[in-house]
Amino acid sequence: MSLLTVCACLASSGCASEPWVELHDQRFTVEVANDDAARAQGLMFRHDMAPGHGMLFIHEQEEPQAYWMKNTRIPLDILYFDDERRLVSAQLGVPACSLGNACPPYPSEGPARYVLELNAGVARDLGVKPGDELLFGPGLGPDTPTRVTE
């Protein structure tokens, strides 16, 4: 990290506190959704998501998951991970949906506990495949406070 980056981090006082995950040696700053309200809100009504960012959904237990794009305006890659944070399945290039409750579900192909949403195309560019490991930054886990911003 350069001196300029360190100074910018110190000035913003936010560098160390931003939760992050790594996939294929690529780090993503994530918003965490680990309660029912935050998971239901997800990325609804957002017009964009910055490159290198994503949303990590943490569920209480590993089980089949199905996500939908209700009121989501950003095309996404939806990645499903099991208890060991291994990729179970991926739904790539999922289109935005403005059909409300008529938006289709995008299910996992197996039980999952963690779901990572990234901008559409990122997972393809990384070459993700089943079994890939999702690494968590310090303090990131099931008990991480919910940090959803609008």
Q: What is the average per-residue pLDDT within 21-40?
A: 95
Mean pLDDT of the chain: 87
pTM comes to: 0.84
**Residue at 12 is within a domain:** no
Give residue 108's domain range.
19-136
How far apart CA 73 and CA 96 sit, in angstroms, is 5
Q: What DSSP character marks residue 4?
A: H
**Residue at 115 is within a domain:** yes
Check which CATH number belongs to the domain holding 68 and give it.
Answer: 2.60.120.1140
How far apart CA 147 and CA 97 sit, in angstroms, is 24
Which distant-in-sequence residues (6+ apart) come within 8 Å of 47 by Cβ? 73, 74
Number of domains in the chain: 1
**Residue at 147 is within a domain:** no
**Residue at 52 is within a domain:** yes
With a cut of 70, say whether residue 142 has pLDDT above it.
no
The string of pLDDT tens digits covering residues 59-118 is: 999 999 999 999 999 999 999 999 999 999 999 999 999 998 999 999 999 999 999 999
**Residue at 102 is within a domain:** yes
**Residue at 126 is within a domain:** yes
Residue 63 near residue 111 (C-beta atoms within 8 A): yes
Q: Going along the chain, which residue ranges are E strands?
A: 20-23, 26-33, 53-68, 76-81, 87-94, 105-119, 135-136
**Residue at 142 is within a domain:** no
Q: What is the average per-residue pLDDT within 5-19?
A: 51
**Residue at 11 is within a domain:** no
